[in-house]
Structure 1
Amino acid sequence: MSSPSEASNESGLILSTEVEEMRGIRPFPNTSLETAGQLANQVAGHAIYNRYLSQKSANTLKRHARDLELFAEYLLDVGIMPEHGADFQTNPKAWLGVTWGIVEGFIAWQLQEGYAVTTVNARLSTVKVYAQMAVKAGTVPREEGMLIQSVKGFSRSGAANVDAKRPQTRIKDVTYTYKPDGQKQTVVVSRRNTKKRHPVLLTRQDAHLLRQVRNDSPQAVRDALLVSLLLDHGLRASELALLKASDINLTRGTIHFYRPKVKGTAHEWTTHKLTQKAHELCREYLNQHYPPTLLPDGPLILTTTRLKRNGAGGQLLQKGMNRVRLSERVAWLGKQIGLSKLSAHDCRHFCATQMAQMGYGVDELMAWFGWTSAQTAVRYIASAEVQKRYKG
């Protein structure tokens, strides 16, 4: 690497523009050290996330993403709408307004939802790491950051006491052994996976309402389209977030998409014939609202400007919605028709239920939803047969 070139001027020696850009700094002639230090803090604070993420393995980042997605789900569940988005992993502004009380509430919420104490501790650690970076970025006050760091998880003996007082479910699945006070003690804990215990059951009327375009804004067409793809085609939120405009073939009326969850299997890539409603919404969305500059390979589901009370706004932006923001939007749309905690997976569940009731077979369901196990398809078919029997 060549040494930094120097140029002389009235204010002394400064780094050349090429080296400045290479080092990511911008000198300010005649700037006091105190002022320069504050400016450097701002720049370094916003870069700290990228620096941290670049040092972590893919598996660690994936685990952190799941932890922070659950943190966002907790906020939505208790009625808090993140004003600056829910991308807590890469966006420092998302942490604006987070306090130690909210973090304490996250712990209590997880215990109420039935998560294992060891899992609660791990997620608390993740939140504290990213909150501390938000302090350095200036989006969380220093005093509040210190209080967040003071939030404690559970010790081994404390975890045993918590588990002993909680309802015991799925006893045959998970047990933890603690040794409080030097004594061996087996404690059966309540444990659940990341899916909800019971899905939100949609009716056909609910689905009809969700597919409707609510107003004249591009945002409303986008919302109807994303819900239609979830309800009619059973896409996962991750699959929807990866869609590009070119994945929609309006002439043939098809959608071609990738399934990261089943990568390496026969179901990794698939093509669906669009339903009539989804096809109509795709045509309106792409022909009338989608920015031409993003065609053909821009993200399909775009973020939008804020929709105002007078009906103005809701214009499509250049950035695609990620999985977390999609989940947020589905939950919000569900609330508008009186459904609490609606998720993308609930829409997928509705689609599978409807297709099973229409008589689709195991192989057809496996191909449509990308299932690698026939047991999942069989459960839906069996459920449909039971419902039909009880109806008479």
Structure 2
Amino acid sequence: MSSPSEASNENSLIVGNENEARGIRPFADTSLETAGQIANQVAGHAIFNRYLSQKSANTLKRHSRDLELFAEYLLDVGIMPEHGADFQTNPEAWRGVTWGIIEGFIAWQLQEGYAVTTVNARLSTVKVYAQMAVKAGTVPREEGMLIQSVKGFSRSGAANVDAKRPQTRIADVTYTYKPDGKKQTVVVNRRSTKKRQPVLLTPPDAALLRQLRNDSPQAVRDALLACLLLDHGLRASEMALLKASDIDLLRGTIHFFRPKVKGTSHEWTTHKLTETTYALCRDYLDAHYPPTLLPDGPLILTTTRLKRNGEGGQLVEKGMNRVRLSERVAWLGKQIGLPKLSAHDCRHFCATEMAKMGYGVDELMAWFGWTSAQTAVRYIASVEVQKRYKG
């Protein structure tokens, strides 16, 4: 005889509490073969969330950096991900990824000068998420097997690679440490993790980025995004957390959270909006922002695709995450002839311009949320050197 829970779900693929059933709903007279296909599809799309829920915050942060670099590689070689670049949480982003693209990712990292051990670690991350994409049905099974066959470098292979490739990073980083249980210290030389050459913006470049490209809501959003980066020096992670209520049009201010310096006096801060930023904020919130999302919806929203005839580019009720923000900044940079533009390059421009205007160490630290005075001093000293050279 059936139990009460079974009786109430006699046509369900999963018996038990309805609130506990994950993703599969009742289907009358469903064959086992059909039910299996449905179960695979549902479980495949839930596998990313289940995997992420089991990992520590540090592991997820490392995976996020690895997959952001994978997205940067695609953009650098001219590939635009049709389904977005959120490879960590969106199975659809993996559509079209092949083993050849993964091999290209390895070669690109070596050309950029990354350590072989780092290349191996990132390959491992990509393979884990690609395998989940196979189960989600967005990567064909045969392609998934080929992706898993892509190998990293052994210790001897790594030594041979390093011996044959030129030094391409900015500089070697040398540091000394004392291993546990050892009497002597060890000197370590490693390649810098910074990109070879930052993109140096000029005031005319910044003006182009702030300029409205067309009359679409997307153009207003892009110009506002540029202003917050160039005039206020926000990080991409800070931009992704902004809410519409963080903008106070009456006072002309923006109040935002800085996750990178959480627990310090710079955790929360308020900026007086520049004139251009204020005008864009008012236009964006009053004329384009969906009223249903006010007041606590995400500030920087995604948009529909802008058509060649100038139509489209409408705001969608979904915020842009850090990866999509970085991807958009890179795209905007390419439109004005600045490949590989990043949010940090815009932040660097803002700090340089403020140092030129005579802002002091304490003012720069408060504005950018720096916990070390050395960073502010570096910008001020750099500006002083430039003035002497020109003089």
1:79-98 matches, within 5 Å, as: 79-98=78-97
Deviation track 1:53-72 (CA, whole Å, cap 9, x = no partner) reads 11111111111111111111
Structure 1 residue aligned with 2:202: 203
Structure 2 residue aligned with 1:121: 120
Distance 2:215 2:387 in 1: 40
Structure 1 residue aligned with 2:342: 343
Distance 2:228 2:218 in 1: 15
Deviation track 1:362-381 (CA, whole Å, cap 9, x = no partner) reads 11111111111111111111
Work out whether residues 171 and 188 of structure 1, in 8 Å CA contact, stay in contact via their aligned partners in 2: no
Counterpart amino acid of residue 264 in structure 2:
T
Structure 2 residue aligned with 1:136: 135
Of the three residues 21, 28, 38, the one matched with 1:23 is: 21
Shift of 1:4: 5.0
SS in 2 for 1:154: coil
Work out whether residues 175 and 187 of structure 2, in 8 Å CA contact, stay in contact via their aligned partners in 1: no
Distance 1:309 1:385 in 2: 46
Work out whether residues 66 and 125 of structure 2, in 8 Å CA contact, stay in contact via their aligned partners in 1: yes
Shift of 1:278: 0.3
For structure 2, the 5+ residue unaligned runs are 177-185
SS in 2 for 1:19: coil
Shift of 1:233: 0.4
Work out whether residues 163 and 187 of structure 1, in 8 Å CA contact, stay in contact via their aligned partners in 2: no
Distance 1:174 1:97 in 2: 42
Rate the CA distance shift 1:282–1:323 in 2: closer, same or farther, 3 A: same
Shift of 1:296: 0.7
Of the three residues 11, 14, 17, the one matched with 2:11 is: 14
Work out whether residues 212 and 219 of structure 2, in 8 Å CA contact, stay in contact via their aligned partners in 1: yes
Distance 1:154 1:129 in 2: 17
1:156-305 matches, within 5 Å, as: 156-168=155-167, 170-171=171-172, 173=174, 191-193=191-193, 195-305=194-304
Shift of 1:387: 1.3
Work out whether residues 173 and 191 of structure 2, in 8 Å CA contact, stay in contact via their aligned partners in 1: no
Work out whether residues 92 and 139 of structure 1, in 8 Å CA contact, stay in contact via their aligned partners in 2: yes
Structure 1 residue aligned with 2:74: 75
Distance 2:84 2:299 in 1: 19
Distance 2:230 2:172 in 1: 35
Work out whether residues 213 and 220 of structure 1, in 8 Å CA contact, stay in contact via their aligned partners in 2: yes
Shift of 1:161: 1.2
Work out whether residues 6 and 16 of structure 2, in 8 Å CA contact, stay in contact via their aligned partners in 1: no
Shift of 1:356: 0.6
TM-score, L = length of structure 2: 0.92
Shift of 1:311: 1.2
Structure 2 residue aligned with 1:310: 309
The CA RMSD over aligned residues, in Å, is 2.0
Shift of 1:187: 12
SS in 1 for 2:11: strand
Deviation track 1:274-318 (CA, whole Å, cap 9, x = no partner) reads 000000000000011001111111110000111111111111111
Structure 2 residue aligned with 1:329: 328
Counterpart amino acid of residue 174 in structure 2:
D
SS in 2 for 1:272: strand
Structure 2 residue aligned with 1:355: 354
Rate the CA distance shift 1:27–1:369 in 2: closer, same or farther, 3 A: same
Structure 1 residue aligned with 2:44: 45
SS in 1 for 2:387: helix
Deviation track 1:94-126 (CA, whole Å, cap 9, x = no partner) reads 000000000001111111111111111111000
Distance 2:243 2:282 in 1: 14
Distance 1:234 1:322 in 2: 17
Deviation track 1:140-191 (CA, whole Å, cap 9, x = no partner) reads 000000000000000111111112223346445279xxxxxxxxxx998752
Work out whether residues 91 and 136 of structure 2, in 8 Å CA contact, stay in contact via their aligned partners in 1: yes
Shift of 1:29: 2.7
Counterpart amino acid of residue 371 in structure 2:
T
Work out whether residues 173 and 189 of structure 2, in 8 Å CA contact, stay in contact via their aligned partners in 1: no
Shift of 1:197: 2.6
Structure 1 residue aligned with 2:100: 101
Distance 2:312 2:137 in 1: 30
Counterpart amino acid of residue 312 in structure 2:
G
Distance 1:160 1:113 in 2: 17
Structure 1 residue aligned with 2:181: none
Shift of 1:28: 2.5
Deviation track 1:305-341 (CA, whole Å, cap 9, x = no partner) reads 1111111111111110001100111111111111111
Q: Percent identity?
A: 85
Shift of 1:383: 1.0
Work out whether residues 174 and 187 of structure 2, in 8 Å CA contact, stay in contact via their aligned partners in 1: no
Rate the CA distance shift 1:32–1:367 in 2: closer, same or farther, 3 A: same
Counterpart amino acid of residue 113 in structure 1:
E
How many residues of Structure 1 are paired with residues of Structure 2 in the alignment?
Answer: 376
Distance 2:187 2:175 in 1: 10
Rate the CA distance shift 1:314–1:18 in 2: closer, same or farther, 3 A: farther
Counterpart amino acid of residue 14 in structure 1:
N
Work out whether residues 174 and 189 of structure 2, in 8 Å CA contact, stay in contact via their aligned partners in 1: no
TM-score, L = length of structure 1: 0.92
